[in-house]
Amino acid sequence: MKITDIRCARIGRSPVIRVLTDEGIDGFAEIEHSKAYVAHTLDVYRPLLLGADPTQVERCMLRIRRMGASKPWGAVVSAIEIALWDVAGKALGVPVHRLLGGKVRDRIRVYNGGVRTSLGAHTPEDYAASMAYMAAAPENFSIIKEGVGLHGFMAPHTPDFLYNDLREGPLHPNRGSLTPSGISRIVDAVAAMKDTLGPHRRLALDMGPGWTVPDAIRVLRELEQFDIAWAEDILTGDFVPWNDAAGYREITTATTVPTHTGEQLYLRHNFRELIETRAVRVIGPDPGDVGGLAELKWIAEFADLYGVGIAPHGVSNGLLGLAALIQVSATLPDNLIAFEYPLATDTWWYDIVDGLTEPIVTDGYVTVGDRPGLGVEFDRAAASAYLDPADAGFFDWTTAEE
Ligand SMILES: O=C([O-])C(=O)C[C@H](O)[C@@H](O)C(=O)[O-]
């Protein structure tokens, strides 16, 4: 089998990669809707893969893996890897989890990062109301994540939050030392959320990036009473293209609140110090940014050797991203906690993708299916209606070779 073309199209807001082959089999993967601009880099990778055998996934990746980088510049390489697994699974008539070593679980716990409502003025009461909304969601999530501190918009809604003046956008623009009023707002919001959630659901906190180590230690010690699932991306994370392993380790050893990072990291090499020094208790690679499914699995196995947990990121990965997370998470070792449940960008996405269960989440778990490839297929006629007009021929079979 040979790759005859690799294309990218916008379906609604989400960029979708399609790998075409000479045997009438194609594979798909989705890129975070919030970074659609990276799709323009596809031309860097495409010529390197034309003519290659897509079922030899690693051999293909050896040609392009070196040309990715920290979030968001690993996204196209990662999406190509995922689409290659989709082709390989369909060609062999097996689900991708079989190719990654086989599933070790039939259902996977997911955590909520995407089912949300407005936080209004970001008062503790608003955080509590938002938590009540998420806890009432039909998915019945057992772990719910909320942004506090320098993640999201708590800072601009709280007078005198940082000693520095606040900067505006793009996402997560601020860093520096917290004032006493900033610290109180965080602790009060967490107390209000935990009060609403009760003892049986756990609260995970997305907190940064941008904190100082002493502030993190002080605040996490105050939060120990609330049984926090993890404190994420405190120092670095999101779109910060490096990782402060030594800083995380100082925090990790000073508190019982589990620390968590890694969604922005590309490749196993960038997890090495974090894992070998046990700098965080939990890592959160995103298959759509880390280099794909095999890369994530390798990192999970390595983390397991060191007693480090894994809770993969994925909130903006869309339904194909959800399918990819199910395939890889089915095969991960027992250090898996849960993966972040991706929602479709627009509700019509649920009508153009076949193969997901209905409902998708039951009692906080998704089910691992056995359909070939990623286990999902486009209803191509229905999906074509949502193609960007510039990408009208996306589902056609004309190829680069013709
Ligand atoms: O952990 C998360 O869900 C996030 O940090 C959400 C953010 O929107 C993140 O995906 C980002 O900044 O791209």
- The CATH number for 89's domain is 3.30.390.10
What is the DSSP secondary structure assignment for residue 321, as one 8-state letter? H
Helix axes 42-49, 75-92, angle to 10 degrees: 40
One domain, residues 130 and 178:
yes
| Model confidence at 399: pLDDT above 80 | no
Cross-strand bridge partners of residue 107: 367
238 CA distance to ligand 1 middle (Å):
6
The answer to whether the CB of 368 falls within 8 A of the CB of 108 is yes
Side-chain-facing half-sphere of 27: CA atoms under 13 Å? 35
Q: Measured between alpha carbons, how far is 233 from 206 in angstroms, rounded to an integer?
A: 6
Place 97 in a pLDDT band, splitting at 50, 70 and 90: very high
Total domain count, the chain: 2
One domain, residues 104 and 234:
yes
The answer to whether the CB of 110 falls within 8 A of the CB of 340 is yes
pLDDT tens track for 21-60? 999 999 999 999 988 999 999 999 999 999 999 999 999 9
151 CA distance to ligand 1 middle (Å):
9
Out of 73, 235, 259, 316, give the residue to mutate to test ligand 1, the one with the largest number of ligand atoms within 8 Å of its CB.
316
81 CA distance to ligand 1 middle (Å):
21
Q: Measured between alpha carbons, how far is 218 from 65 in angstroms, rounded to an integer?
A: 40
Q: Is the CB of 313 under 6 A from ligand 1?
A: yes
Asked whether residue 397 is domain-assigned, the answer is no
208 CA distance to ligand 1 middle (Å):
10
Residues 6 or more apart whose Cβ sits within 8 Å of residue 191: 124, 226
One domain, residues 296 and 383:
no
Side-chain-facing half-sphere of 150: CA atoms under 13 Å? 33
Asked whether the bond before 124 is cis by omega within 30 degrees of 0, the reply is no
Place 400 in a pLDDT band, splitting at 50, 70 and 90: low
| Model confidence at 260: pLDDT above 80 | yes
Name the more confident of 123 and 388.
123
| Model confidence at 355: pLDDT above 70 | yes
| Coil, helix or strand at residue 231 | strand
Percent residues over pLDDT 70 in the chain: 99
Q: Is the CB of 170 under 6 A from ligand 1?
A: no
Helix axes 75-92, 318-329, angle to 10 degrees: 70
18 CA distance to ligand 1 middle (Å):
25
One domain, residues 238 and 322:
yes
The answer to whether the CB of 126 falls within 8 A of the CB of 153 is no
- Domain holding 284, by residue range, is 99-374
Residue nearest to atom 13 of ligand 1 (CA): 238
Q: What is the dihedral of CA 367, 371, 374, 380, to 10 degrees?
A: -110
Out of 313, 322, 339, 340, give the residue to mutate to test ligand 1, the one with the largest number of ligand atoms within 8 Å of its CB.
313
226 CA distance to ligand 1 middle (Å):
23
pLDDT tens track for 132-172? 999 999 999 999 999 999 999 999 999 999 999 999 988 89
Q: Measured between alpha carbons, how far is 177 from 182 in angstroms, rounded to an integer?
A: 9
Cross-strand bridge partners of residue 30: 16
Average pLDDT over residues 342-364: 97
Q: Is the CB of 34 under 6 A from ligand 1?
A: yes
Comparing C-alpha atoms, which of 332, 399, 313, 348 is closest to residue 100? 332
One domain, residues 78 and 104:
no
One domain, residues 45 and 189:
no
| Coil, helix or strand at residue 205 | strand
Average pLDDT over residues 228-244: 96
One domain, residues 140 and 230:
yes
pLDDT tens track for 176-230? 999 999 999 999 999 999 999 999 999 999 999 999 999 999 999 999 999 999 9
- In the numeric block, which tokens belong to residue 120? 């209004």
The answer to whether the CB of 288 falls within 8 A of the CB of 78 is yes
Asked whether residue 271 is domain-assigned, the answer is yes
276 CA distance to ligand 1 middle (Å):
25
Asked whether residue 59 is domain-assigned, the answer is yes
One domain, residues 179 and 85:
no
One domain, residues 200 and 218:
yes
Asked whether residue 402 is domain-assigned, the answer is no
Average pLDDT over residues 381-402: 87
Asked whether residue 399 is domain-assigned, the answer is no
Average pLDDT over residues 352-369: 98
The answer to whether the CB of 265 falls within 8 A of the CB of 70 is yes
Q: Measured between alpha carbons, how far is 280 from 142 in angstroms, rounded to an integer?
A: 22
Asked whether residue 304 is domain-assigned, the answer is yes
Q: Measured between alpha carbons, how far is 324 from 317 in angstroms, rounded to an integer?
A: 9
- What CATH number corresponds to the domain at position 227? 3.20.20.120
Ligand 1 nearest atom to the CA of residue 313, by list position: 1
ipTM value of the model?
Answer: 0.92
Q: What is the dihedral of CA 204, 209, 211, 217, to 10 degrees?
A: 30
Asked whether residue 201 is domain-assigned, the answer is yes
Residue nearest to atom 11 of ligand 1 (CA): 238
Residue nearest to atom 5 of ligand 1 (CA): 238
One domain, residues 303 and 204:
yes
Residue nearest to atom 9 of ligand 1 (CA): 238
H or E element that contains 10 = strand 3-11
Q: Measured between alpha carbons, how far is 273 from 279 in angstroms, rounded to an integer?
A: 8
Give buried/exposed letters for 258-292 (b at 16+ CB in 10 A, else e). bbbbbbbbbbbebbeebbeebbbbbbbbbbbbbbb
58 CA distance to ligand 1 middle (Å):
28
Average pLDDT over residues 369-376: 98
Ligand 1 nearest atom to the CA of residue 239, by list position: 12
Asked whether residue 400 is domain-assigned, the answer is no
The answer to whether the CB of 238 falls within 8 A of the CB of 209 is yes
| C-alpha Rg value of the chain to the nearest Å | 21
| Model confidence at 402: pLDDT above 60 | no
One domain, residues 310 and 240:
yes
Q: Measured between alpha carbons, how far is 334 from 130 in angstroms, rounded to an integer?
A: 31
Q: Measured between alpha carbons, how far is 43 from 67 in angstroms, rounded to an integer?
A: 12
Q: Is the CB of 295 under 6 A from ligand 1?
A: no
One domain, residues 120 and 69:
no
